[in-house]
Amino acid sequence: MMLTTPAAAADKAAGWNEGGGEQDEALHLTPNLENGIEVYEVCAACHLYEGWGQPDGTFPQLAGQHRHVLIKQLADIRALNRDNPTMYPFALPESIGGPQSIADVTAYIATLPMNPEPGRGPGTDLEHGKQLYKDNCVRCHGEHGEGVEEKYYPRIQGQHYNYLMRQFAWIRDGKRRNANPDMVKQIQEFSDKDMAAVLDYVSRQQPPADKLGVVGWENPDFK
């Protein structure tokens, strides 16, 4: 069995998001929002026209996510760097187009107002969750889960609790191959109780008012 040396682990952590390929190409293209709307119609079958996903966590909320994050994740799925067999066929160039379409659709998704009523946790251990978040998550995801676009740290505020739970468990347990190794290391000792508490707290972090839609909003671009 090949053992991972500290130097190799450090190299992996430094290179988890080296980019290249479609990721870099899409980042440097000028988005066409009209085409983004057309491309997004493919995505809407699962993520809904509003980009709000499903509270049961089947599909995440995409609306309002940082464009850099969206580009990276879509490019990773297409390059088989992130396992998502449900989405993979819909993300292929023959379904949505090439790097220009990635640039277009991600720019469009980033403009969508966010769901003001995402799926939240049970609210039973919030103080523990708040402390865990302060001790482990603030450095990358920010005080309120706002993330950092330039560093590809996602906005996790306003995300559905059940989706957060699934992704956190996969990252902690080594099942999400494009996860930031720094995060894997940071959360590897979290128990299931810790995970539920911190994500319950995260699910209650409200995005800024200018990012939120109104209850019952319907996307006028698809009327």
Asked if residue 183 belongs to a known ligand binding site, the reply is no
Asked if residue 2 belongs to a known ligand binding site, the reply is no
- For residues 97 and 46, give the distance between their C-alpha atoms in angstroms, rounded to a whole number: 18
Asked if residue 68 belongs to a known ligand binding site, the reply is no
- For residues 188 and 94, give the distance between their C-alpha atoms in angstroms, rounded to a whole number: 38
Asked if residue 28 belongs to a known ligand binding site, the reply is no
- For residues 158 and 117, give the distance between their C-alpha atoms in angstroms, rounded to a whole number: 8
Coil, helix or strand for 223?
A: coil
Asked if residue 195 belongs to a known ligand binding site, the reply is no
- Rounding to the nearest 10 degrees, give the CA dihedral for residues 95, 177, 146, 148: -90
In this structure, are residues 214 and 115 in contact, taking their beta carbons and an 8 Å threshold?
Answer: no
**Spatial CA neighbour of 35 closest among 115, 114, 112, 109:** 109
Would you state the structure tokens that stand for residue 50, as one six-digit string? Answer: 């509003």
- For residues 167 and 159, give the distance between their C-alpha atoms in angstroms, rounded to a whole number: 11
Asked if residue 144 belongs to a known ligand binding site, the reply is no
- For residues 103 and 139, give the distance between their C-alpha atoms in angstroms, rounded to a whole number: 28
Amino acid residing at 203: S
Annotated binding-site residues read: 43, 46-47, 87, 137, 140-141
Annotated binding site for heme c: 43, 46-47, 87, 137, 140-141
